[in-house]
Chains A and B, each alone.
Chain A
């Protein structure tokens, strides 16, 4: 307000719109106020006060101030975003690590799922790793195929765990069953192992599951082959 008042006084002074007393008053003030005197000198050089120019200048100032405040906000938000981004990044890495460890641990446990056929229909074998390191020379799949080809019709269904050692010739030796399973199953397991292929390793421990055949004799030709057991042919 005071500012505008001074400005209009300067304007009037320069354009000779003041009374003598007013002029004297302003001159006296300017003598005590070099700032005012300088400003009057400047406006006189410019031949007057340009109010439009000055209001543009005021606008520039307020824009300048607003910009800084806006910039500060922008920076603030950027900082916030960075924090969120960093948190998300950490979470992502943790998640990846968890996934990796889960996968890795699964391997470490070595839950080797070698159920190569459905137990209702086919002979299933499960190598028990705590008891040995044996593996069939031809691979588990071939071994299972052999079992299913060899298993006798009308055999009894059931589960049996057998331990055996592997001789120098690679054939299973000292085959004996764990616990007290039916003798028919033991006999069958021994027969299958002895007439089967060669083995690698030193000791074997297997769980063999013979299919339960409710409709003995007739079921053999109707076995549904699970898709992953390609190459298994029933005679």
Chain B
């Protein structure tokens, strides 16, 4: 059974082993996500189990199209809720989260690129700030990894990462604006 069938099977029968099959492949990713927010191994493990408990009733009632991204958002919200509960200050990068929530909306419909699209892209590239322009160019055009880019530019690795993420987002917005403007 594939993911969709498992999901449907669980929804109709409530068979917990089906939900287990669905959930278990994501556990290691989930653990990473939970650790990112909770920053404690035991709490992260408990969170992974607790999220499973919460899915048991939820997935019987909700229609979930894309299980993977749904699960990601759900677990992230779960962790943020946990943090809010114990009133710990969190260092969540707002830019990061903005990027991710937009990412969800873009269900990749791969459009054919024409010549003018490339021209548009070049125009948008110029509109980016220096950091983003440099990092995006190095990453997407020269296909360098973050570490190489950090070495080449002297930026911090995290800075490279967010410059690429934000640059990508800005490009997308710019391209869409030009599309609509036409």
Contacts and interface: CB of A to CB of B under 8 A. Distances in A.
A32 interface: yes
B97 to A, nearest CB: 9
B29 A24 contact: no
B153 interface: no
B33 A23 contact: no
A163 to B, nearest CB: 83
A58 B146 CA distance: 32
A64 B52 CA distance: 10
A27 B108 contact: no
Interface in B86-144: 99-100, 103-104, 108, 139, 143-144
A16 B148 CA distance: 12
A8 B31 CA distance: 14
Interface stretch (A35-43, A89-97, A118-126, A202-210): A35-43
Interface in A123-173: none
Contact of B164 (A31, A32, A36, A57): A31
A31 B165 contact: yes
Interface string B20-61: 100111111111111111010100110011001000000000
B4 interface: no
Contacts of B52: 61, 64
Given A24-B144, A38-B72, A58-B24, A45 B36 contact: yes
Interface string A28-57: 100110111111111101100110011011
A62 B27 CA distance: 12
A68 interface: yes
Contacts of B104: 34
B180 interface: no
Interface residues of A, number: 41
B45 A42 contact: no
B16 A68 contact: yes
B32 A53 contact: no
A66 B136 CA distance: 49
B9 interface: no
B78 to A, nearest CB: 13
A57 B45 contact: yes
A23 B145 contact: yes
Contacts of B35: 42-43, 45-46
Interface of B: 16-17, 19-20, 23-37, 39, 41, 44-45, 48-49, 52, 68-69, 71-72, 76, 99-100, 103-104, 108, 139, 143-148, 164-165, 168
Interface of A: 2-4, 6-7, 10, 16, 20-21, 23-24, 27-28, 31-32, 34-43, 45-46, 49-50, 53-54, 56-58, 60-62, 64-65, 68-69
16 contacts: A7-B28, A16-B147, A24-B143, A31-B165, A32-B103, A35-B29, A38-B72, A42-B36, A43-B35, A45-B35, A46-B41, A53-B45, A57-B31, A58-B27, A60-B45, A64-B52
Given A3-B25, A10-B32, A21-B145, 14 more contacts: A3-B26, A6-B28, A23-B146, A24-B145, A27-B139, A32-B103, A34-B99, A38-B36, A39-B30, A57-B27, A57-B31, A61-B24, A64-B52, A69-B16
By Cβ-Cβ distance, the 6 closest A-B pairs, closest first, are: A39-B32, A42-B32, A42-B36, A23-B145, A42-B35, A35-B72
